[in-house]
């Protein structure tokens, strides 16, 4: 089976693991062969390179595995359903296929909500959670959901022009820097590739999947240690069109309060793409989190 975008160049070795059911996951695997294993799950419209600024340093201490979710990057192509259940099932099979025992999930945005759902449904596989600006803390009413569906479509993704793509990327950051240009260029490239129409459908399905399978009311059931990081200047969470008066800090604190064994860190002058905008702080917090777990 063909990957969604095999033409993309990541600049490092990417392996694949067959999941059966005509699915496979592409992944980066670096670092220590013993000790803690960190599994990195990207967000909506993202891919393995989202972690390029933290893996080189963290892999000096831990085994670091970053995946492309099915329908993204170099993983299975096609119009995957994009539901949280679909991704949790794929992630469970991937983890079992690695045969490395219990591991630690590090999820960004949509990857955060997928990580939460995986820990809830398969607690025996997960040691801890690190959630970076996770989806799932913000809650939406039935009317909110209708508005989201009304003002989003596959067509919008397919027809986005260069300026709109750049603006979309810019919305992820408090201050976008030069090193983001590679990911922006990859987005331009993807629009020219055969897999882009299927990818647009997957992104749309994934966005709807987040609101169809909410996790907020289940956060209290999480048992594993959880580190939560939010940028104080996150322009993506909360949704600025639906929750105009709500702040990122309110969303973050409300969600964190539901998770008993959790620690919340709010980063100054930082937007939604935390691991790219504040990599040093993310690395520091993760290392301290694992040191604290050992005590």
pLDDT digits (tens, 9 = 90+) for 186-233: 999 999 999 999 999 999 999 999 999 999 999 999 999 999 999 999
Give me the pLDDT at residue 142, please.
86
How many domains does the structure of the chain reveal? Answer: 1
Would the pLDDT of 79 be above 70?
Answer: yes
Tell me, yes or no, whether 3 lies in a domain: no
- What's the per-residue H, E or C state across 64-129? EEEEECCCCCCCECCCCCCCHHHHHHHHHHHHHHHCCCCEEEEEECHHHHHHHHHHHHCHHHEEEE
Distance (Å, whole) CA 289 – CA 273: 20
Write out pLDDT tens, residues 130-141: 999 999 999 998
Tell me, yes or no, whether 10 lies in a domain: no
Q: Can you give the residue range of the structural domain that contains 250?
A: 15-294
Give me the pLDDT at residue 26, please.
98
Distance (Å, whole) CA 232 – CA 269: 7
Tell me, yes or no, whether 7 lies in a domain: no
N-terminal to C-terminal alpha carbon distance within the chain: 46
Letter string b/e over residues 286-295, b meaning 16 or more CB atoms within 10 A of that residue's CB: beebbeeeee
Q: 107 forms bridges with which residues in the sheet?
A: 41, 131
Give me the pLDDT at residue 291, please.
93
Would the pLDDT of 152 be above 90?
Answer: no
Q: How confident is the model at residue 287 (pLDDT cuts 50, 70, 90)?
A: very high
Tell me, yes or no, whether 207 lies in a domain: yes
Pairing mode, if any, of strands 103-108 and 23-31? unpaired
Tell me, yes or no, whether 22 lies in a domain: yes
Give me the pLDDT at residue 295, please.
66
Would the pLDDT of 181 be above 70?
Answer: yes
Mean pLDDT score across all residues of the chain: 95
Letter string b/e over residues 60-92, b meaning 16 or more CB atoms within 10 A of that residue's CB: ebbbbbbbbbbbbbbbbbbebebbbebbbbbbe
Would the pLDDT of 241 be above 90?
Answer: no
Tell me, yes or no, whether 246 lies in a domain: yes
Write out pLDDT tens, residues 121-131: 999 999 999 99
Tell me, yes or no, whether 8 lies in a domain: no
Q: 68 forms bridges with which residues in the sheet?
A: 26
Tell me, yes or no, whether 155 lies in a domain: yes
Q: Dihedral sign, CA of 65, 16, 120, 81?
A: positive
* Section 42-59 average pLDDT: 98
Percent of the chain clearing pLDDT 90 (strictly above): 88
Would the pLDDT of 87 be above 70?
Answer: yes
CATH number at residue 209: 3.40.50.1820
């Amino acid at each position: 089976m063909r990957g969604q975008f095999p033409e993309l160049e990541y600049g490092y070795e990417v392996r694949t693991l067959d999941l059966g059911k005509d699915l496979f996951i592409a992944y980066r695997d670096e670092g220590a062969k013993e000790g803690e294993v960190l599994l990195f799950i990207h967000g909506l419209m993202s891919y393995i390179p989202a972690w390029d600024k933290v893996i080189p340093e963290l892999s000096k201490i831990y085994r670091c595995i970053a995946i492309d979710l099915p329908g993204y990057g170099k993983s299975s192509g096609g119009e995957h359903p994009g539901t949280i259940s679909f991704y949790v099932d794929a992630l469970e099979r991937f983890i079992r296929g690695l045969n490395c025992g219990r591991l630690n999930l590090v999820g960004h945005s949509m990857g955060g909500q997928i990580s939460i759902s995986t820990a809830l449904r398969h607690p025996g596989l997960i040691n801890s959670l690190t959630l970076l600006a996770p989806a799932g803390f913000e809650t939406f009413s039935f009317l909110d959901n209708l508005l989201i569906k009304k003002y989003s479509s596959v067509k919008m993704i397919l027809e986005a022009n260069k300026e709109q793509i750049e603006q979309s990327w810019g919305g992820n950051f408090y201050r976008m820097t030069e090193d983001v240009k590679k990911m922006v260029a990859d987005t331009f490239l993807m629009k020219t590739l055969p897999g882009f129409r299927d990818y647009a459908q997957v992104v749309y399905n994934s966005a709807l999947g987040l609101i169809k399978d909410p996790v907020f009311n289940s956060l209290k059931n999480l048992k594993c240690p959880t580190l939560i990081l939010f940028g104080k200047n996150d322009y993506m969470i909360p949704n600025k069109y639906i929750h105009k008066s709500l702040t990122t800090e309110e969303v973050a604190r409300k969600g964190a309060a539901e998770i008993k064994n959790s620690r919340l860190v709010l980063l100054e002058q930082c937007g939604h793409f935390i691991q790219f905008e504040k990599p040093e702080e993310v690395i520091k917090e993760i290392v301290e989190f694992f040191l604290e777990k050992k005590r």
